[in-house]
Amino acid sequence: MRKLYIFLSCLLFSCASIQTLTGGEKDLAPPKIIKTSIDSGSTNIASNFFRFTFDENIGTSKVNELLLISPTQQKNPKLEIKGAQALLTLNDTLTPNTTYTVKFNGCIVDVNENNPMLDYSYIFSTGGYLDSASISGYVKDITTNLPCENCNIQLYASKNDSIVIKIKPDYIAKTNEIGYFQFNNLPTRNFKLVALKDGNNNLMLDNNELVSLAKEIHTGKTIPDTISIFPFYHYVDYKPSLLNTKEPGILQIAINKPLTHVAHLYIDDSIKVYQLSPSRDTITYYYQPTQDTLNVLITIDTNQFSFIYINRLSQYIKPIRLITSNFNGLTIIKSNYRIKGIDKGKILLLIDSNVVSATDIYHTDYQVIIKHPLNLIPDKIEILESGITDIMGNNNSNYSQTILLQKRTNTNLNLTINIDTNTYILHIYKGNSLYKTEYINFSKNLTINNLPQGTYSCQLIKDLNNNQIWDTGDYFGHINAEPILFTKPFDMRENWDKNLIINSL
C-alpha cells in the first residue's frame, strides 16, 4: 500500500505544471474624450481653463511640437495630466469675437501602449457665433518632389513679408503624410499664407529651413495649386568644411550652400585648379600625394577659411586591385585608387592567345579604356609587369596578371527631350547617385551609350538665369525656385534600348 500511495501522489502532482500567462490582444485604440468642462462648439466663452476627461489614464508626447491652438498663442499654453484628465490653460488673453480651435495632434497618448489621439478638434468662441470658413491644399518639397509631412501652414493677418521671421502666425495647421492640410472654423477674410518646414519648432523662419513664397488667400476659396517649399539661405554665410575622403590624392571641401561667388583654393600657399560639383556646393582637388599634411586656404568673396588636412599615406600602400568589364568594342579596367599612368604596350587583349590590336587605349581617373573592333571580342586581358600604376605608385611590378573576360552586350539609353529655347540642366541618377550631368541650351536628341544595368531616373532643371546650377527661391524677393521635373525610375537591362521622352517645363 505504501508504494501505491507514493505512485498516486506523484501522478497527482505531475498534473500541475507551470504555464506562461498570455495577455489579450494588443491595445491599438487611442484614448477617447468622454467629458469636457465646457462643451466643444460653445460660444460666449470667457474662461481660459479647460478640462478634458478620457476613458483611460493618459500621458503626453512632444507637447510643444504637436499641440496646435489657433489663433496661435504668443505665450505657450500649459498642459497638465492627472490620471485620465488633461488640464489646458491658455496663458494669452482671449481675443473678443474670435473662434478658437485646439488640436492635440498626437500629443495625448495612453499610458500603456502610447497610442496617440490624432483626429480631434475642440472648438469654442469668445463671441456669439462660430466662424465657418475653411481652406485646404497640399505642400511638396521642390528639391525632392515628395510631399512635405509635418509641415507648418501658417496664416498671417498682416501683409508684411518680414513678419514670418519676427512673430508667430495668427493661425497654424500641419500637413499629414501626403502633404495635405486643412483649416476649419476660420474667419472670412484675407490672409497671407506661408508653408514652413520648421526645424526648431519656433513657428518662425530661420536659416536653412524650407519655406514657400508668401501667398495671398481668401478663406473659403480653394487653393488651386500645390504649394512648393524651397531652402531658405537669405542670411546664411558661407561655411566650408573638410570632408574625409578616405582616399589618397583627393581633397574635398563641402560648402553649406551653392557657390555664387568665385572661390580660390590655395594649398601650401600655391593657388590650385579644382573641380566644382554640379550643385556647386563641393570643391574637389586632385593631387599627387607626397606628404601626410596639407595647409589649405579657401577664399570666397572677401572671406578666408583655413584648414589643416591630414591623410596618412602609409595606410594606402597596398597592391593595386583591378576589375574588368567587356562590352562590344570596349573593354574597361577599373582600379581601386586613382590611376597615375599606364604603359599601353603592356596591356594586351587576347582571343585564344592571339593579340587583338586595340584602336585606342587611354585612362581616366579610375579606369583604363580600351577600344577595339566590334567583330573582335577578346576573351581575356593580360597586364604585364608595371602596366598600370595608381596615384600611390602601387602597380603589378612583380607579376603579370591575366584576367578572363565575359562578353557583355552594351546597352543604350536614348533620351528624347522636347524643349523650348530655354536652358536646361539634366541630371541622370543611377539609384541615388548622380551618374551624368548635361547642360542643354537647344533642342536636341541626347544619346548616352554603354550604360551599365541598373535603375535610373532623371531630373530636368529649368536654368532660368543660365548659370548652370539650380537656384533656390528668394522669399523676400518674391522669386520662386527654378522649376524641376522628375521622371519615374526606369530600368536598364542588357540588350534593351530605352527611349525616354521628357517634356519640357
Cβ atoms of residues 80 and 32 within 8 Å:
no
How many whole angstroms separate alpha carbon 321 and alpha carbon 313?
17
Say whether both 309 and 324 belong to one domain: no
Q: What is the pLDDT of residues 229-256, one digit of tens each?
A: 999 987 778 899 999 888 889 999 999 8
Residue 236 lies in a domain: no
- Of 277, 293, 313, the one marking the end of a domain is 313
**C-alpha–C-alpha distance, residues 304 and 318, integer Å:** 37
* Cβ atoms 407, 376 nearer than 8 A: no
Q: Report, as an integer, the average pLDDT of 304-308.
A: 95
> Do 224 and 159 share a structural domain?
yes
Range of the domain at 447: 412-503
In a shared domain, residues 446 and 469: yes
- Same-domain pairing of 499 and 460: yes
Phi, psi of 124 (to 5 degrees): -150, 165
**Total domain count, the chain:** 5
Please report, for the domain that includes residue 455, its CATH number.
2.60.40
Is residue 61 in a domain? yes
How far is 377 from 407, CA to CA, in rounded Å? 7
Query: Same structural domain for residues 363 and 398?
Result: yes
**Does 14 fall in a domain?**
no
If you search the block for the grid coordinates 488673453, which residue do you land on? 93
* CATH at residue 146: 2.60.40.1120
What pLDDT shows up at residue 397? 67
Q: And the C-alpha cell for 219? A: 478663406
pLDDT per residue as tens digits for the range 81-92: 999 999 999 999
Which of 159, 164, 137, 134 shows the shortest CA–CA distance to 72?
Answer: 164
Distance of CA 196 to the CA centre of its chain: 16
**Helix or strand run (H / E) with residue 7:** helix 2-14
Average pLDDT over residues 204-214: 92
pLDDT of residue 129: 95
Rounded CA gap, 1 and 16, in Å?
24
How many other CB atoms are found less than 10 A from the CB of residue 249? 21
**Among the listed residues 279, 256, 254, 247, the one whose alpha carbon sits nearest the alpha carbon of residue 434:** 279
Query: CB–CB of 184/172 below 8 Å?
Result: no
% residues pLDDT > 90 (the chain): 42
Residue 22 falls within a domain, yes or no? no
Q: What is the DSSP letter of 212?
A: P
Same domain, 154 and 202: yes
Q: What is the amino acid identity at position 213?
A: L
Same domain membership, residue 225 and residue 143: yes
Residue 235 CB-density burial (10 A; 0-12 exposed, 13-18 middle, 19+ buried): exposed
**Residues whose CB falls within 8 Å of the CB of residue 373, separated by 6 or more in sequence, listed in order:** 329, 356, 357, 359
Q: Which of 125, 149, 183 is the last residue of a domain?
A: 125
Q: How confident is the model at residue 15 (pLDDT cuts 50, 70, 90)?
A: very low
Look at the pTM and tell me if it is higher than 0.75.
no
Give the span between the Cα atoms of 262 and 259, in whole angstroms. Answer: 7
Q: What is the mean pLDDT of residues 385-391?
A: 87
Q: Could you say which of 346, 375, 404 is where a domain stops?
A: 404
In a domain? residue 300: yes
Q: What CA–CA distance (Å, rounded) separates 250 from 244?
A: 9
| Chain segment 179-189, per-residue pLDDT in tens | 999 999 999 99
**Tens of pLDDT, residues 317-368:** 776 777 777 766 778 888 888 888 999 888 888 888 888 888 889 888 888 8
Average pLDDT of every residue of the chain: 84
Q: Any residues with CB less than 8 A from the CB of 467 and at least 6 apart, and which?
A: 260
